[in-house]
Amino acid sequence: MSDIAIKAVGLRKVYVTGFLRKKFVGLSKLDVEVKRGETFGYIGPNGSGKTTTIKLLMGLNFPTAGHAEIFGHPIGSMAARAKVGYLPERPYFYDYLTALEFLHFYGQLLGMDKAARVKRIDELLPMVHMERARDIQLRKFSKGMLQRVGLAQALMGEPELVVLDEPSSGLDPMGRRLIRDVILELKRKGTTIMLSSHILADVEEVCDRVAIIAKGEIQQITKTSELVGHGLHGVEAAFENLSSELALGLGFGEPTAHAHGRVTFLVENHERVNALVRAALEAGGALIRVTPQRQSLESLFVDEMTAVDRKDREKPT
Amino acid sequence: MKIWAIALNTFREAVRDKILYTLLFFALLMIGASVLVAELAVGEYDKILRDLGLSAINLFGMLIAVFVGIGLVYKEIERKTIYTIASKPIPRWQFVSGKYIGLAGTLALEVLIMAIGFALMLAFTGASGAMESMPAIWLTWIELLVVIAVAIVFSCFSTPALSALFTLGFILIGRLTAPLKEFADAGNSEVLKDFAAVVYKILPDLQTFNLRAEAAYGRAYDWEYVGYATGYGLLWAGVLLALAAVIFQFRDFK
Ligand SMILES: Nc1ncnc2c1ncn2[C@@H]1O[C@H](COP(=O)(O)OP(=O)(O)OP(=O)(O)O)[C@@H](O)[C@H]1O
Ligand SMILES: [Mg+2]
């Protein structure tokens, strides 16, 4: 039994399109390993190659170069496909099926017998809050409802690896929360998850490691625990009832912002913020809020993209 | 069985499609309308009735085969429904075969309904020959099996509009190979003769499935021939389906 859920070596995809055989590099060179039980985030700007990677891993496209394995089985093989549950981005399904028929159909493709399918469907429909839609045709579903049965479809065979390509796109806040809860539940059970998403807050919350991909290449892989633990950039504190003169007189330098009768300071650490708050209160100010400034995934992402852009500009063309 | 799941689902898709009923409605209307035409014609009332009815069944069978068959595989790719299916542990050839079997089943049902309409029409007008027409109807279905196999081959790699065009071209050529060969053999151009012989060899001869004139004239039918034509059709369908499976096996779903 392989403890590596996903392993890609030099995986590359060049799309050749149209009559003129124009070439587009969808994925330039991917080397990555995802361990069993890991929740792996996959983020990057539009057109960076996330969906391309996932489609290669699912055996829907054939790589131009390189190879990859899922739990030790070559991608595209029956054995690899048997272990995966996949929710495509913007999924389309047979819309003439009811939710119940739909899930039975996918269960059949997984080779599940009737009893197993019925049992699994009875677990899944409540899990995605779709019990009431079981006998309604998918053509009458809203986007979010489709996403939910799509998620149920991906989980039908209790897969060891779940691959979600932008599962929250087009969902309302409740739907997003639902997806996040489902992922956390899967994670608790030890399922390996690969999550591609543009909602970085969610990725940061649920993922163990996050890869940032741009221009068809992984730029950086970060542990989310390190993002939270070591990335403290300072603490921000905001006050009311402090005039400019008073604020300056506190001895904590220039405020970073001064608007609507509020002043905001940024200091290095918690000790400094304690001193700042004490001094400000004594001067007659009122504390509004104290916010630790962390290097969140979002700022890391933005930094990375700026770096990529700079590298691009410096490159002689 | 995964093939059956696909087949059943394809059948379900077809019977939940309104286009099918529209075409079926017009088919039955046409079969019924043969009565009016036969009334107007002079003599050979039964023959004209059978001739028109059988032609209507064939024509509408073809229409349904082309319009439903073409979309069959193409739509899966275009609408990306294939993503969740091809990523499941089912070999791609089974997917293609399942689609084919589902469509063949749908056409069997269609042809059966039209055959019943045809028999009722003959019964109401007191015309004879319903039973004698059944082999001709059977072979229409076999012909359709070849046509949908072609449609699937084309829809594995081209757009619906092109596939429809190609398939119609195939039907046309398939029906003309036999007359073309006769014509060439009768003439004295060696080039034309060779050409016709090659076309005749590499493309199925759809006239093989045409027993409509025999049925219209109420001639006794030859079981041996029906058996031969059935085998011929199934063989061609099998070859074409294998070709479709091979194309499908190696394509990217973009
Ligand atoms: N079928 C295709 N034919 C040609 N080029 C393609 C095709 N699919 C993707 N590409 C190209 O490959 C690159 C990567 O696309 P991909 O869909 O993998 O991006 P993505 O990271 O999933 O983006 P998004 O966040 O918008 O979903 C893009 O430049 C795109 O133009
Ligand atoms: Mg994408």
CB contact under 8 A, A78 and B91: yes
CB contact under 8 A, A110 and B9: no
pLDDT at A294: 65
CB contact under 8 A, A94 and B5: no
A62 ligand 1 Cβ < 6 A: no
Taken in order A279, A283, A287, A288, is the CA torsion positive or negative?
negative
Instruction: Considering only residues B23 and A137, tell me which one the structure prediction assigns the higher pLDDT.
Output: A137
Task: Return the residue of A nearest to B252 by Cα.
Answer: A61
pLDDT at B215 over 60: yes
Among protein residues, the one with the nearest Cα to ligand 1's atom 9 is A26
Q: Tokens at residue A169, please?
A: 């796109």
Task: Return the residue of B nearest to A104 by Cα.
Answer: B5
Q: Cα separation of A180 and A18, whole Å?
A: 39
Q: Name the pLDDT band for A232 (thresholds 50, 70, 90).
A: low
Task: Return the residue of A nearest to B4 by Cα.
Answer: A108
* Mutation target vs A (from B88, B97, B249, B253; most A CBs, 10 A cutoff): B88
Q: How far is B130 from chain A (nearest CA, A)?
A: 37
**Closest to A103 measured CA to CA, from A125, A70, A129, A127:** A125
Q: Name the pLDDT band for A204 (thresholds 50, 70, 90).
A: confident
Where b means 16+ CB within 10 Å and e means fewer, B74-103 reads bbbbeebbbbbbbbbbbebbbbbbbbbbbb
**Closest to A189 measured CA to CA, from A277, A123, A143, A285:** A123
CB contact under 8 A, A60 and B87: yes
Pairing mode of beta strands A39-43, A65-70: unpaired
Under the phi-then-psi rule, with left for phi > 0, alpha for psi from -120 to 50, and beta for the rest, what region is A76? left
CB contact under 8 A, B87 and A86: yes
Q: Tokens at residue A19, please?
A: 């009559």
Domain at A235-292: CATH code = 3.30.70
Q: Tokens at residue B153, please?
A: 């081959």
Q: Which CATH superfamily is domain A4-228 in?
A: P-loop containing nucleotide triphosphate hydrolases (3.40.50.300)
Average pLDDT over residues B212-233: 85
Under the phi-then-psi rule, with left for phi > 0, alpha for psi from -120 to 50, and beta for the rest, what region is A4? beta
pLDDT at B178 over 80: no
Give the rounded distance of the alpha carbon of A193 from its chain centre: 10
Q: What is the per-residue pLDDT across A62-99, written as a single tens digit (0 to 9) for each?
A: 999 999 999 999 999 999 999 999 999 988 889 899 99
E strand or H helix at B160, and its extent?
helix B160-186
Q: Cα separation of B65 and A199, whole Å?
A: 46
Among A108-117, A268-277, B106-115, B242-251, the range scoring the smallest mean pLDDT is A268-277
Taken in order B194, B200, B202, B203, is the CA torsion positive or negative?
positive
pLDDT at A317: 54
Ligand 2 centre from A284 Cα, in Å?
53
A50 ligand 1 Cβ < 6 A: yes
Average pLDDT over residues B10-19: 86
Pairing mode of beta strands A232-240, A84-87: unpaired
Chain A residues touching residue B162 (CB < 8 angstroms):
none
Residues of A contacting chain B (CB within 8 angstroms): 15, 55, 58-62, 78-79, 81-82, 84, 86-88, 90-94, 96-97, 101, 105-106, 108-111, 150, 153-154
Of A55, A91, A109, the CB nearest to B90: A109
**Closest to A30 measured CA to CA, from A51, A2, A3, A60:** A51
CB contact under 8 A, A81 and B89: yes
A17 ligand 1 Cβ < 6 A: yes
Q: How far is A236 from chain B (nearest CA, A)?
A: 47
pLDDT at B161: 85
A15 ligand 1 Cβ < 6 A: yes
Taking CB atoms within 8 Å and a gap of at least 24, the contacts of A188-192 are A190/A36, A190/A37, A191/A37, A191/A159, A191/A160, A191/A161, A191/A162, A192/A5, A192/A6, A192/A34, A192/A35, A192/A36, A192/A37, A192/A38, A192/A39, A192/A40, A192/A160, A192/A161, A192/A162
Q: Name the pLDDT band for A250 (thresholds 50, 70, 90).
A: confident
Q: Could you tell which of A11, A50, A212 is best to mutate to test the pocket of ligand 1, judged by most ligand atoms within 8 Å of the CB?
A: A50
Of A78, A88, A97, the CB nearest to B89: A78
pLDDT at A12: 95
E strand or H helix at B131, and its extent?
helix B130-155
Q: What residue type is A161 in one-letter code?
A: L
CA distances from A171 to A9, A200, B231 (A): 34, 15, 54
Q: How far is A87 from chain B (nearest CA, A)?
A: 7
Q: Check if the beta carbon of residue A98 is closer than 8 Å to that of residue A177.
A: no
A44 ligand 1 Cβ < 6 A: yes
Q: Domain boundaries in chain A?
A: 4-228, 235-292
Q: Name the pLDDT band for A228 (thresholds 50, 70, 90).
A: low
E strand or H helix at A28, and its extent?
strand A22-35
Ligand 2 centre from A181 Cα, in Å?
22
Q: What is the per-residue pLDDT across A157-202, written as a single tens digit (0 to 9) for each?
A: 999 999 999 998 878 888 899 999 999 999 999 999 999 999 888 8
Q: Where are the alpha helices (DSSP H) in A37-113?
A: 50-57, 78-82, 99-109
CB contact under 8 A, B12 and A97: yes
Q: How far is A45 from chain B (nearest CA, A)?
A: 19
DSSP label at B209? G
